[in-house]
Every structure is written in C-alpha cells, then in structure tokens.
Amino acid sequence: MKTLTITRPDDWHIHVRSGAVLKTVLAHTARQFARAIIMPNLKPPVTTVAQALTYRDEILRAVPVGVDFTPLMTLYLTGATTAAEIKAAAESDAVYAFKLYPAGATTNSDAGVADITAIYPALAAMEKHNLPLLIHGEVTDEQCDIFDRERVFVDTHLRAIVEHFPNLRTVLEHVTTTEAVQFVQTAGDTIAATITPQHLLFNRNAVLAGGIRPHYYCLPIIKRERHRLALLAAATSGNPKFFLGTDSAPHLTSLKETACGCAGCYSAHAALELYAEAFERADALDKLEGFASFYGADFYRLPRNTGTVTLEKNSWTVPAFYGENGLSITPLKAGEALSWKLQHYQS
Ligand code: NCD
Ligand code: ZN
C-alpha cells in the first residue's frame, strides 16, 4: 500500500471550544498534530494571560492519555487590551500570539476591534515584545460584498498595518483570494499566511450550487475557482510564507442546519488527509511536509518537531457526525470517501 511519512505537523490555527465540544474534538487534533495555535474566541473571549492558563489546563485535561500534544495559546485583542497584558503575555510560557478580529466579522467576534487604528499602541507593544499578530482579514462594512471583504481588508487595513509596523510578525489567517496571496508573496519576511483544507479543495459551488450546503459555509467564505487555484499554487510552491492552519471550527449540527446557519467547517477529524488529497491532486505531495511541518514552526521561531506521522492510501468513509449523548458535529465530507488515512504517529 502506498504510504507517506512526514515529520509530525502542527496546526497554526484551530478552534477547539470548551466543555463537551472540546472533549469531542480534541483527540482528533492531538493525534495528528504535535502543537496547535488555539483561537481565543470563546464566549467570553480569552483576553488575559490568566484566562489563557485556565483554558490551557482545560485543553490539557482533554488530551487522551499517552498522546503528546501542546496547545499554544493566543489572546483576543480588544480595544481595551493594555500594554501590561501584552508584556505579561510575552513573558509567559503559554501565550504565543494575539488575534485580531474586526468586530462582528465572524463567529464570536462581537468583542473584537471596531477601529483598527485605535489599537495601534497595542500593535506597537506587540512589535516591541516580539509577539506575532494573527489577523482575521475581512472588513465588516455591510455595504461590502461578502466575496470582496478580504480583498478590501488587505488593501485598506493590512497594507497600513504592515507599513506602520515593519518588524511585527503578522499572519493573515485563512487566506482565500488571489489578492491576499499576492500581498503576502510581495510583502517582507515578517508577513505570512495560513491556508485551510476547504479553501484548497473547494470553490464556492460547493457552498451554493445545487442547494445551500451549510457545512461548507465558513468565513472568509469559499471563493471562485481562480482563487482556489491561486491558493493551491501558493501552498504547493514551497514558499515558507504559506503554512498549514485548518481553521477547524466545530459547531453543533443544529446550529449549522437552520434558517441562519453559523460559520465554520469542522475538519480536525481528517485534517492531514484532506490536505494530502489537495496536494496529491496538484501532483505536489513532496511539498506537503514543508507546508505542514516546517514553515509554521520556523515563522513562530519554535523548534521543528522530531516525530513522524504516516498516512496510507486507503479509502475510508467519514462518519455522518461526531459526538455522543445527543451532541452532534457534522464533519467536512460527512458520509463521503477520503483516499488517505492517518496510520500512526511517533512522537
Ligand atoms: C470560526 C469559528 O467558528 O469560530 N468560523 C469560521 O467560519 N472560520 C471563526 C473564524 O475563524 O472566522
Ligand atoms: Zn478561525
């Protein structure tokens, strides 16, 4: 059987939630990835080092026995984030970045930043303390077409942030457009981007053609085919500015399959398998290891992992849902076949 062994990867952008959902999803990530950057958009958001430490403990308690997994915590940037909190974050061994959500841009972002220039002092403090800034790059202007929100954000806000803070390491999270890819490619070495499996595998027809499919609805919304091709080219190019971040975002099935379904695709159950499928179709499986296991660690200035994971070419069917006792999370490709399967890992 065909197999693929690579250095154990990391997920540089994931939502694992808390409580029963956390307990349902965490094992999926922990058996694939050695480390993961944990998004702070809980209700209420994780805004202080003390909250991040409490949340980290809850995550560590959900790691299956014998599995080696390290959550890398982030703090949620608000208009009230203080320089003292940023300093404390930099000095802690738990917090690895701050996350900027424009207020109202996506799931649980109400407490986000309404006026980006007003938080420039906080960005200056992050630059000084060498803490990366992670950005959900979409404008929230209701007049702006949802398919244009990333491109406009890059032009108006990201360009200005990068100009003002040339030494601030910045990750444009889950890029979805040709324009964002081009911006990252031409910006300096301090600017990088993560790419999700759904944006590499699907275009907007998956969401809208032949019926509305809520499990493909995430933000930034999946774009048209030419954008998917640009993302795939970037991910498989070997350019270290582009690395793996699933943006796996579990929601209860009942909250997705409703008149106003919420945004987020659950992909942790098969993250590497989904990326392997995309890379194989682009005839670029040899580029998967750099994207999944090297470039993110290098950008965050952390050591590369030493263990390995092995995938085998072995078709399996994704379950209809994950969860028990009435809890249901519908995964990406539910009920469909995947061609790669995680076989084992060694830490
Ligand atoms: C994320 C979530 O559900 O928390 N949803 C999503 O569509 N990606 C939030 C986010 O990363 O935008
Ligand atoms: Zn996200």
Paired residues of 337 in beta bridges: 317
Give the pLDDT of residue 268. Answer: 98
Question: Rounded to 5 degrees, what are φ and ψ at 37?
Answer: -80, 115
Cα–Cα nearest to 158, from 130, 111, 193: 193
Please provide the size of the chain in residues.
Answer: 347
Report the distance separating Cα 275 and Cα 62, nearest Å. Answer: 25
pTM score, whole prediction = 0.98
Strands of 133-135's sheet, edge to edge? 10-14, 35-38, 70-76, 95-100, 133-135, 170-172, 191-195, 242-244
Instruction: Report the nearest atom of ligand 1 relative to the CA of 263.
Output: 7
Cα–Cα nearest to 176, from 204, 199, 203, 210: 199
Cα–Cα nearest to 134, from 298, 247, 249, 260: 247
Give the pLDDT of residue 1. Answer: 79
Is-contact 100 139, C-beta < 8 A? Answer: no
Below-50 pLDDT ranges, the chain: none
Give the pLDDT of residue 107. Answer: 81
Cα–Cα nearest to 146, from 232, 222, 41: 222
Residue among 15, 21, 39 whose CB has most ligand 1 atoms within 8 A, to mutate = 15
Give the pLDDT of residue 131. Answer: 98
Please pick, among 11, 57, 141, 247, the residue that the annotation labels catalytic.
247
106 in ligand 1 pocket by Cβ < 6 Å?
yes
Paired residues of 7 in beta bridges: 308
Handedness of CA 222, 115, 184, 279 (dihedral sign): negative
Burial of 27 (0-12, 13-18, 19+ CB in 10 A): middle
Neighbours of ion ligand 2 (CB under 5 A): 247
253 in ligand 1 pocket by Cβ < 6 Å?
no
- CA distances to 51, 161, 243 from 294, rounded to whole Å, are 29, 26, 8
Going by the DSSP 8-state scheme, the letter that residue 326 receives in this structure is T
Report the distance separating Cα 72 and Cα 96, nearest Å. Answer: 6
Does the annotation mark 247 as catalytic?
yes
